[in-house]
């Protein structure tokens, strides 16, 4: 598969770091919100690194799913009372999901190159 938008993967890596450090920076360094931010940050970061090294559509599908999870997790896991955690999760989750959707759309929009034999 041809690779076009490596910049999106670098943005995802920055977002992963931001999510990972958000418990300390935003002051919710405890309990469920922290655990979710750490785990999701690690997963998004690992997928971003894998996509930077060698693009594959499965990486974008995983990022889409994890981004959507991060987006809805404050309500599913019940930490909506921690406002800073909700904002961090919603904003970062939304951006990761949208970027993954854009990557998938771009990958599906342009068909793979065909080798023409003579």
Q: Distance (Å, rounded) from C-alpha 71 to C-alpha 100?
A: 13
Let me know if residue 82 belongs to a domain: yes
Q: At a CB cut-off of 8 Å and minimum separation 6, what does 31 contact?
A: 79
Q: Look up the pTM and report it.
A: 0.85
Q: Does 1 fall in a domain?
A: no
The predicted structure's pLDDT at residue 56: 81
Name the domain count of the chain.
Answer: 1
CA–CA gap between residue 55 and residue 49 (Å, rounded): 10
In a domain, 57, yes or no: yes
Instruction: Let me know if residue 116 belongs to a domain.
Output: no
- Residue by residue, pLDDT tens for the chain (118 residues) are 455 678 999 999 999 999 999 999 999 988 999 999 999 999 999 999 998 888 788 888 999 999 999 999 999 999 999 999 999 999 999 999 999 999 888 888 866 556 666 5
Residue at 115 is within a domain: no
Backbone angles phi, psi at 114, to 5 degrees: -105, 140
89: containing domain: 6-109
Q: Is 51 within a domain? A: yes
Q: Does 86 reside within a domain?
A: yes
């Amino acid at each position: 598969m041809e690779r076009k938008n490596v910049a999106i993967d670098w943005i995802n890596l920055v977002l992963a770091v931001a999510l990972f450090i958000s418990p300390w920076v935003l002051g919710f360094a405890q309990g469920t919100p922290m655990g979710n931010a750490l785990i999701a940050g690690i997963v998004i970061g690992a997928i971003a690194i894998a996509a930077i090294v060698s693009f594959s559509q499965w990486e974008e599908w995983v990022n889409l799913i994890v981004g959507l999870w991060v987006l809805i997790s404050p309500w599913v896991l019940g930490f909506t009372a921690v406002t800073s955690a909700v904002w961090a999760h919603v904003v970062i989750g939304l951006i990761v999901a949208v970027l993954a959707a854009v990557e998938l759309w771009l990958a599906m929009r342009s068909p793979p190159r065909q080798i023409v034999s003579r």
